[in-house]
Amino acid sequence: MNLTLRVWRQKNSITSGQFVEYAAKDISPDMSFLEMLDVVNEGLILSGEEQIAFDHDCREGICGMCSLVINGKPHGALPATTTCQLHMRFFKDGDTITIEPWRASAFPVIKDLVVDRTAFDRIIQSGGYVSVSTGGAPDGNAIPIPKEDADKAFDAAACIGCGACVAACKNASAMLFVSAKVSHLSLLPQGKVEETRRVLNMIGQMDAEGFGNCTNIGSCEAACPKEISLDNIARMNRLYAKALLKNKLS
């Protein structure tokens, strides 16, 4: 396969960027999207040009690092798929592919296709954990949890924190990410002790980071490679309203 790539190049968060065209030649349909970029970078290095900076780590659809907007869609057009699991056989010979970084003020560009997502880390640090003593694994397993709650908590825990929800949202909202983390813990007995403080702190940090609000368009759910449900946002909103009322009455 021979392709034309329109890649966003930007030296840092201060300088302005632009699209630069590159030829991707003799690409195997069995390559992943990141492997294709590796081949292009090898060619750039051999020709003495600066390689394209992009994020990656596990390349197994687990870590969420492979954050690319491909032809206008976070992680590409294939549903429930991360960039590293997107293969070139889903493109056609001669295609032109536009590759951009996540677009959100809370995710400033570090270089080229790499953005700073430490805002997510700070949201987690504000309350996305259980600090009370819950004992060891046998103690945790001894606590009966309804299967419906366990399934919902497991589904929410599948969030890999990639930020595709933010990149897809017209408001650059982080509500799907935050609600997945809030839901995961609040649905379990071990997480209910800090439920009120958690939802207040995490939403407060989310707002402080400059993320937009949710207007229920649903683009976040559609772009999520782990198919996190909008139900989590509704659950978080209920918990937030309950926490605000509880604080007002106390």
| Low-confidence winner among 52-56, 95-99, 142-146, 206-210 (lowest mean pLDDT) | 142-146
Give me the helix-helix angle, 231-249 and 175-186, nearest 10°.
Answer: 70
CA distance linking residue 146 with residue 227, whole number of Å: 22
Full set of structural domains in the chain with CATH: 3-111 (3.10.20.30), 117-249 (1.10.1060.10)
Amino acid, single-letter form, for residue 60? E
Give 109's pLDDT tier (boundaries 50, 70, 90).
very high
CA distance linking residue 91 with residue 230, whole number of Å: 30
- Asked if the model's pLDDT at residue 78 lies above 90, the reply is yes
Closest CA to 96 of 41, 34, 32, 24: 24
As a whole number, mean pLDDT of residues 212-229 equals 96
Give 49's pLDDT tier (boundaries 50, 70, 90).
very high
Give 247's pLDDT tier (boundaries 50, 70, 90).
confident
